[in-house]
Amino acid sequence: MDALALPVGTTLDRFIMRKQEDFPFASGELSQLLRDIALAAKIVNREVNHAGLINIGGAYGSQNVQGEEQQKLDVVANVRFIRALRNGGEVCTIISEEEDDMIQTGNCHGKYVVAMDPLDGSSNIDVNVSIGTIFSVYRRKSAFDKDGDLLDCLQAGTEQVAAGYIIYGSSTMLVYTTGNGVNGFTYEPSLGEFFLSHQEIRIPEEGTIYSCNDGNYWQFNEGVRAYLDYCRKAGFTARYTGSLVGDFHRNLLKGGIYLYPATDKTPKGKLRLLYECNALAFVVEQAGGFASDGKNRIVKIKPQELHERTPFIIGSRKMVETALHIMQEEKDWPVPA
């Protein structure tokens, strides 16, 4: 067939309109919120691609609430997403990795709260490794006509109405779920549109990839070390870039497990529950996988503070189940034949 005659495909906007019946309570507001996120993603995609040309790579010169050095692109992405969500009018309150406190948008009638990591893995931008945005959407619990409050923000992951991520790599993709499966959209920059490219994503039940910072091996507890030994004996492939979105995305499509357990230095874990772990846990469960802190299902944990940290194990269901068995028994485990 002539390439010029091939169909362009389904745009994100068209897909959202078709799926609006999946969340009838929203009356179109959630659809608009997802469009706002997509708009911000397009702008950040432009900034990421131009980073080496307009001097916005590298460190910004300050630290965020986590005590981590902010990169210039962290600040840029944070501003872009906040502005898009504020202007869209559907979000009353935002929680961001880059901000100490809740961000009130002034949209007192907004039905939703968004928790986000505007640019995960941004320290990798200078070496051209994939980075990403993670977002999580909740319905507000408080009364309208005022700002959102802390109870709106501190909801368990089971209360999410939408979640997903954008990965900025060799191509830019937006992957999201509203609780009715997971779909991925690839950005076509010449047309300025996201097109449906990965429909009804399902993570393989088993995999042969494990993603973990092996440099922390002697800081992990015996159970975690036993699982990593099992992976090595089984001949699994180690793949770890330090970019959560990049590592998760690969495992989602190919099958694998990602681990960021507690260490001696970070006994409560390092990744943030509200705007990193909950969102990806919702996505992976909708794709047939599983996420745990080593003892509990991630989305069942009730957060106590905005920037709460947690150990994180996520990926193919059978791989995560095996990891949990080994970690709890802290002993050798028979490798697959």
112: number of Cβ within 10 Å: 25
CA torsion 115-119-120-121 (nearest 10°) is: -170
103-104, strands of its sheet edge to edge: 103-104, 91-96, 112-120, 131-139, 160-168, 172-177, 182-188, 193-198
Binding site for Mg(2+): what residues are annotated?
97, 117, 119-120, 276
Distance of CA 212 to the CA centre of its chain: 17
Start-to-end CA distance of the chain, whole Å, equals 45
Binding site for substrate: what residues are annotated?
120-123, 213, 240, 258-260, 270
Is residue 205 within 8 A of residue 318, CB to CB? The reply is yes
| 3 state SS for 187-215 | EECCCCEEEEEECCCCCCCCCCEEECCHH
Binding site: what residues are annotated?
97, 117, 119-123, 213, 240, 258-260, 270, 276
Q: How many residues does the chain have?
A: 337
